[in-house]
Amino acid sequence: MSIWSRITAALAALAAGEPFSAVLDRLRLAPERSVAFTIGVIALGAKLAKADGEVTRGEVAAFRRVFTIPPEEEANAARVFNLARQDVAGFDAYARKIAAMFPPRDPVLRDLMEGLFHVAIADGSFHPKEEAFLREVATIFGLEGPCFHALMARFVPGVTPDPFALLEVQPDASLEDARRAYRRMVRESHPDALRARGVPDEAVRLAEARLAALNNAWDEVQALKAA
Per-residue pLDDT of the chain (227 residues; tens, 9 = 90+): 344 555 666 767 777 777 777 776 666 554 334 567 778 888 899 999 999 888 888 888 888 877 767 777 778 788 888 888 888 989 999 999 888 888 877 877 888 898 899 889 988 889 999 999 999 999 999 998 888 988 888 888 888 778 998 888 888 999 999 999 999 888 877 777 666 656 556 666 777 778 888 899 999 999 998 87
3 state DSSP class of 32: coil
pTM recorded for the entire structure: 0.72
3 state DSSP class of 18: coil
List all residues 6 or more positions away from 197 whose beta carbon is below 8 Å from its beta carbon.
107, 108, 111
Outline which parts of the chain fall under CATH 1.10.3680.
1-160
Check residue 201 and give its pLDDT: 63
Check residue 31 and give its pLDDT: 32
Cα→Cα distances 135→92, 112, 215, Å: 11, 13, 25
The domain defined by 161-227 carries CATH number 1.10.287.110: yes
For residues 60 and 118, is the Cβ–Cβ distance under 8 A? Answer: no
Outline which parts of the chain fall under CATH 1.10.287.110.
161-227
The domain defined by 1-160 folds into TerB-like (1.10.3680)
Cα→Cα distances 36→47, 88, 137, 141, 185, Å: 16, 19, 17, 16, 27
Check residue 177 and give its pLDDT: 93
List all residues 6 or more positions away from 150 whose beta carbon is below 8 Å from its beta carbon.
161, 162, 165, 166, 168, 213
